[in-house]
Amino acid sequence: MKKRFLSASLAVILTTSAVIPVSMQEVRASNETSSQVEVREERLSAKEFLDLTVTALTFQHGSETMRQEIIDTWVKGAELKDLSGNIKRDEAARILVRALNKEEKEATLAEYQEKANKLGLFNGLSNSETITKQDAVKILNNAKNVKNAVSNKGVKEISVEDFMKNPGSVGYQLSPDGNYITYNSAWKNRSNVYVKKMNDDSEPVRVSSSKDRDIAGAFWKDNNLLYLKDKGGDENFHIYSTKFNGNKEKDLTPYPNVTVRFLSDLQGVKDEILITMNKEDAKVFDVYKLNVKTGKTTQVAKNPGNISSWLADHDGKVRMAVTSDGVEGTILYRDSEKDKFKPFIEMKAGDEVMPLAFSKDNKHIFATSNKGRDKVEVVKYDLKGNEEVIMSNSEVDVIGVLYNPEKDKLLYGGYMTDKVHYQFFDKDFEKLFRKIQNKLGVHESELSINDYNKEMTKFIISVSSDTVYGKYYYYDSTTDEMTEMATLSPWLKPEELAEMHPISYKSRDGLTINGYLTLPKNKEAKNLPLIVNPHGGPWGRDMWGFNPDVQLLANRGYAVLQMNFRSSAGYGKKFLEAGNKQWGLKIQDDITDGVQWAIDQGIANPKRIGIYGASFGGYATLAGITFTPDLYAAAVDYVGVSNIFTLLNTIPPYWETMREMLYERVGHPEKDKELLTAASPVFHVDKIKTPLFVAQGANDPRVNKAESDQIVEALRARGVNVEYMVKDNEGHGFLNEENKIEFYNAMLKFLDSHLKK
């Protein structure tokens, strides 16, 4: 069974206390030969110089924490003890050489000064030992010229097919005994399951035969290999057996309109696992034992109607449950399956407590919780509900932990600021992680330990970054041998792909908005066509890493802006709740403010801005062209919401326990009728004048096809031409390779026709 990263989902700050006359507008103005910047001949302090340099050479303009983290990489140890003192030329040289990633073997300030001189950073300046504010304008302008020095020719065009076709073998796992490796790879243009015997020259064997749909994932139960698949994107996932180990490939849960979820592999119990199904009541999930040989199911726990999730202990006994009306809830506990559940922890509005695993002796429970705090933290409860905080972060939520049942301890936990970072709880595991990291020469944010055997001597490792789709490795710690198993989309060369830059800016009402800016490779970051790409949810978030559609857009010369607007997950309770009932209002303002930020930086051409988003991002796309009709020159709505009333009226039945949460966060169709009417683009089509392309899956259970039909029909009734693509064998987003390729080819053609005139 793949080792799951258990998750609920999902410094001293250097500031300038006085206003500095040299602003970023003045730094930009110094680039224009016709502009004259007049500033007083005041000497800059080290603190002021650092602040200006972060603003000029990075995209971190809103988050003081991220700005400080950057400064900490430029100023190390006891360097610059007195930040209030005047910055000296050689000290500035050291900072700039590091900021420009030009540091090599320099050891002394004189060597940094020499490197800076070679780079031309002090061209046009006097030989004064200290630096004035006027000097800073010239220095930072020189530094920006070095940083942005490109031929402006871009890179060769890469086909849509190369970005969107099956990337190759993915999802590598070890069998429980460590004797086999399994992975997913294409067969007849659909992802299927393959098995390869370890330390053997035999060819991999395909053990599934799905022709209609990619499998969603595979997992082991002892020597049985199983997989999950839905039909046509309806998200009613079933569990199938594979042909491995003499089994027949068949649907083990062949119940129509039923969704199956894995709960426990029941270690030590032969041929049985725990699953949940909404078989008896489409709105809620009961717990069943499933025989993976015969498909026989036996109900273990009945859902009274308000349980949203269950947790089994290490003996496979269902002893915890989470009840919720979507706003408030209770964690329930029982000593045994013979006992009745009793309240364990109460959750008020905004509280999120998610049990993750029992300890090996079943006397403690690991969980994530923001109860009584703003950020989600990792905690441990005893059986009386007493809490011990295991891991926390002052800036962001903890995203999850890796628990090892053999060691009966947490190995590490993760949190995500600009990228994923780890905190370790096991010294041996950290030593192993760092050894692997150094062996591969990657940042910790790029490295994942996907699976390992019981003895923790054999590992499946993956590496991925903003420009590397992914690589899989097999590592044997007993021999210290690392073997590369697969490279995803090897036809995509990292040196031809675009970097994803973490950014931050301030919203109009003072919130810090974090996000990412991807700039086209080998193009000057100036006056570019820009695609704004708001994420779905809205209670999700964008993150740093490889994104095929972002890379496709960047390859075609577009800058791509992604922002984690208010209501995004990961930044704490207050930030998420700041988006309550703000669809089309402050959430949309955060997006608009991000666009204005990109314009103010000189990056985006204000006349060539497009917006493209999926799901809630599709709603934000429609809201953008409805409520800020002059901002966007083209828009692509991908499975997006146009009418909030019909969205709330057609949610999947198994979302019913979340209905009150939707009313709390989005709005109530009766109590907030005026609000939702004002926020639903379909009622304001008279304001829309931006060219629009809409794409929709016919089987979408979340955002029904009617959402797209409504907006298309309303616009066409006004004589507006809307491009509309519907795929009958897709759901909430296109999964089938041929459909993805067709969609992205059409999207590019549409965007280019409106943004590259």
Bridge partners, 333 (sequence order): 320, 342
Query: How many whole angstroms separate alpha carbon 136 and alpha carbon 138?
Result: 5
Q: Is 682 helix (H, G, I), strand (E, B) or coil?
A: helix
Among candidates 571, 446, 668, 588, which has minimal Cα distance to 9?
A: 571
User: Is 615 tagged catalytic?
Assistant: yes
The amino acid at residue 20 is I
Query: Which is the catalytic residue, given 169, 615, 680, 708?
Result: 615
Q: Is 395 helix (H, G, I), strand (E, B) or coil?
A: coil
Regarding beta strands 447-452 and 458-463, do their DSSP bridges make them parallel or antiparallel, or are they unpaired? antiparallel
Query: How many whole angstroms separate alpha carbon 35 and alpha carbon 25?
Result: 11
Q: What is the DSSP string of 144-210?
A: HHHHT---S-------HHHHHS--SSEEEEE-TTSSEEEEEEEETTEEEEEEEETT--SPPEE----
Find all residues with CB under 8 Å of 721, minimum gap 6, and list them. none
Q: Residue written as tokens 């390729």?
A: 741
Bridge partners, 486 (sequence order): 472
**Distance between terminal CA atoms of the chain?**
53
Query: How many whole angstroms separate alpha carbon 356 and alpha carbon 400?
Result: 9
Query: How many whole angstroms separate alpha carbon 380 and alpha carbon 356?
Result: 10
Query: How many whole angstroms separate alpha carbon 327 and alpha carbon 346?
Result: 12
Counting every residue, how long is the chain? Answer: 757
- The DSSP 8-state label assigned to residue 652 in this structure reads -
Helix 46-57 and helix 89-99: axis angle, to 10°? Answer: 30
The amino acid at residue 437 is Q
In this structure, is the dihedral angle defined by the CA atoms of residues 703, 704, 708 and 713, taken in order, positive or negative?
negative
- Which stretch of DSSP H or E encloses residue 500? strand 500-506
Catalytic residue set: 615, 700, 732
